[in-house]
Structure 1
Amino acid sequence: MQRILSLLLGSVALMSLAACEKEEPPVKETPLRVNAAIAAVVNGEYILASEVELEAAAQGLMEPGDTLEIEDPVFQQILDQLIDQKLLAQEAMNLGLDQEESSRHRLQAARERILGNLLVENLVAQQVDEAAIMEMYNAQTELQQLGEEVLVRQILVSSQEEAQGLYQQLQDGAEFAALAFNHSLDRVTSAEGGLIGYVLPEAMSEPYRSVISRTSVGRVSQPFETQVGWVIVKVEDRRQEEPPTLDETRPKIVQFLTLSEISKVLKRLRTRAEIQTITGEDTISAFEDGTLEGLPEADPEDGEPADTEANDTETGESPATETEEPTE
């Protein structure tokens, strides 16, 4: 910074000297531009544009990694929120709230949570890449037991007599879609000529499953009774079930791989760490009683380590008490 300042001052001096020698009018100074990375300055503290983008992404207002133009209303919306947040934080510090014991614990917990999130982001960036996602997708696709999808239409009526009458009309050449449109009680499918769409028979309840499985393409089933009425179905097509696309499964794969990496890291860290937990009694009494290995026993009255007597005994000196009088 000092070097830059010296260069600037030197440049100004040279320009002034040249102006005096040539008797030219003074050069008009160009105003300094604020760093574009700084979105706002609140009582001397910066808010960076990158912070605005991170918060916008966290709120789902933009995709992570994208840029947010300053003119975008979302940018100003998030910036106002961060300004308010910084003002509140500054006021809390002015009041000394950050120095209270409970506040320090909460701030430490928040710091640890953020650091943990940063580690997760780092793991995702390094380990959960496109190659890992594609490898998992291919492995899952190979393991999937894909069935046969069937394109089905249906007519739903309330009585067996009506169903038999419609079935006879179909046998005589009536159009299935027209009868479904005019007679089916299922208003969801009747507008589409009774079209249910492609279904997996094994995913349907009985008797649909059995009827659809044994009905050939282009054929109409005999009327059969269900819980909601009498049904006639027509099978129009059969095809092999398509596996889900990569885009459809990507979120689940990313989540699985991320959790897997976190599990590996935690297992490694726990193996290396020295961890002591307190159970069966409250935390304070456990510390006072010296039940944690390596902690000195504490005096129950003043909380100070109670090993003075032991040390004096080792040196051969008797500990003094408050009631002893000095010897004349």
Structure 2
Amino acid sequence: MATHKAYLSALFVAGALALAGCGKAGVNERPPERGDQAVARVDGRTVWASDVKREAVAQGLIGQGEPLDPSSDMFRRVLDEVVDQKLLAAEALERKLDNDPAAQRRLAAARERILGDILVESVVADAVNDNAIRGLYQEQLKQAKRSEEIRARQIVLASASDAEAVRRLLAAGAAFDAVAAERSTDVASRFNGGDLGYFTLDVMPDAYDAALKGAKVGDVVGPFQVESGWVLLKVEDRRLEAPISLEQARPQIVRFLTYDRIRDLLEKLRSRSKVETLVKNESTAPSPPADAPKGAAAVQGGRP
């Protein structure tokens, strides 16, 4: 069940949507959306699956367009909240609370907010489509700088003499992975033959960077000293870092295109409207006196 605060908020939003049609509706109402499903009735008025999904999106439980299984616990919980909202809104109308001037202003504000959301959804739906997403993805691919990835194995030894002995053993033909499993002191990598997987040099200690620069596939480099001991490395592969896939990039691209389109819309609306701000901006702190100690302005501005 929703909290008391959520109920009060839902009361006025529901009222804004229901003022014109709060009477009982027949059981043969048409679904508001194609494929919609009736999931409950409150005093004869149908509650649709789309109503529940819309509330789940508003609460941040699912994203816009994500499915919500009517058989799930989440759906049932949100359905109960939607039913409660309708009951509260109907009771408020029964008590004629919507006639109060303050209530009417809140209902009008809720209506404006909902209309604004509908406009944004409509504009964004036209602008944020597969062609736009793919176009921006391809543009970003051209501009992206791909780092080199290296795959290497390592053997970590406790001393320089141990490392030198292992280096000679490898030079004599011993298998690097077998020696790593037997002799390396690095627990994290020894049990998979010292395999470090693919990495970029910027995430490794400076000693690895220095040792691997110029090393070719198949080279064994080292020993060199690090904090954990003495290291020998074998270069298994070098390649360019794989670019992010379209599906991985899609959420960020959608957010960018959405923000960009909304910004353009608001700039256009403001440019053709007269907006007057009648209150002074109090965020600018007054300048400190000339003899104030250093840092006083920052403190007055609310910053540490």
TM-score normalised according to structure 2 size = 0.70
Letter of the structure 1 residue corresponding to residue 224 of structure 2:
F
Instruction: Show the 5 A alignment for 1:161-310.
Output: 161-280=161-280
Q: What is the aligned-residue identity percentage?
A: 37
Instruction: Show the 5 A alignment for 1:50-65.
Output: 50-56=50-56, 59-60=60-61, 64=65
Counterparts of 2:132 and 2:48, CA distance in 1: 33
Counterparts of 2:82 and 2:184, CA distance in 1: 58
Letter of the structure 2 residue corresponding to residue 220 of structure 1:
V
Counterparts of 1:92 and 1:268, CA distance in 2: 39
Aligned 8 A contact 2:29 2:46 in 1 = no
Partner of 2:173, secondary structure, is coil
Counterparts of 1:261 and 1:102, CA distance in 2: 34
Aligned 8 A contact 2:27 2:45 in 1 = no
| 2:41 counterpart residue number | 41
Counterparts of 1:107 and 1:159, CA distance in 2: 76
Deviations 1:254-278 (A, max 9, x none): 1111111111111111111211113
Aligned 8 A contact 1:201 1:213 in 2 = no
Letter of the structure 2 residue corresponding to residue 64 of structure 1:
G
Give the 3 Å change call, closer, same or farther, for CA 167–128 of structure 1 in structure 2: same
Aligned 8 A contact 1:123 1:258 in 2 = no
Counterparts of 1:83 and 1:36, CA distance in 2: 19
My pick for the range that moved more, 161-170 or 104-113, is 104-113
My pick for the range that moved more, 128-137 or 39-48, is 39-48
Equivalent residues, number: 250
Deviations 1:66-106 (A, max 9, x none): 585x5565543432221123223334555666556665555
My pick for the range that moved more, 110-119 or 173-182, is 110-119
Counterparts of 1:186 and 1:103, CA distance in 2: 69
| 1:123 counterpart residue number | 123
Counterparts of 1:238 and 1:179, CA distance in 2: 22
Counterparts of 1:90 and 1:172, CA distance in 2: 87
Counterparts of 1:238 and 1:281, CA distance in 2: 57
Q: Which runs of 5+ in 1 are unaligned?
A: 1-31, 283-328
Deviations 1:11-50 (A, max 9, x none): xxxxxxxxxxxxxxxxxxxxx9755744322234432232
Give the 3 Å change call, closer, same or farther, for CA 187–86 of structure 1 in structure 2: farther
Instruction: Show the 5 A alignment for 1:20-169.
Output: 34-35=28-29, 37=31, 38-56=38-56, 59-60=60-61, 64=65, 66=67, 68=69, 75-94=75-94, 103-169=103-169
Counterparts of 2:133 and 2:147, CA distance in 1: 24
Counterparts of 2:202 and 2:91, CA distance in 1: 64
Deviation at 1:57, TM superposition (A): 5.2
Aligned 8 A contact 1:222 1:232 in 2 = yes
Largest Rg, 1 or 2: 1
Letter of the structure 1 residue corresponding to residue 176 of structure 2:
F
My pick for the range that moved more, 34-43 or 116-125, is 34-43
Deviation at 1:180, TM superposition (A): 2.1
Give the 3 Å change call, closer, same or farther, for CA 271–176 of structure 1 in structure 2: same
Deviations 1:41-66 (A, max 9, x none): 22344322321233345555587265
Partner of 1:234, secondary structure, is strand
Deviation at 1:211, TM superposition (A): 1.3
Partner of 2:236, secondary structure, is strand
Give the 3 Å change call, closer, same or farther, for CA 162–100 of structure 1 in structure 2: farther
My pick for the range that moved more, 110-119 or 263-272, is 110-119
Aligned 8 A contact 1:189 1:196 in 2 = yes
My pick for the range that moved more, 184-193 or 55-64, is 55-64
Aligned 8 A contact 1:160 1:230 in 2 = yes
Aligned 8 A contact 1:181 1:192 in 2 = yes
Aligned 8 A contact 2:68 2:75 in 1 = no
CA RMSD of aligned residues (A): 3.1
Give the 3 Å change call, closer, same or farther, for CA 125–62 of structure 1 in structure 2: closer
Counterparts of 1:113 and 1:33, CA distance in 2: 30
My pick for the range that moved more, 268-277 or 163-172, is 163-172
Q: Which runs of 5+ in 2 are unaligned?
A: 1-25, 32-37, 283-304
Partner of 1:275, secondary structure, is coil
Deviation at 1:164, TM superposition (A): 2.3
Letter of the structure 1 residue corresponding to residue 187 of structure 2:
R
Partner of 1:47, secondary structure, is strand
Give the 3 Å change call, closer, same or farther, for CA 223–101 of structure 1 in structure 2: farther
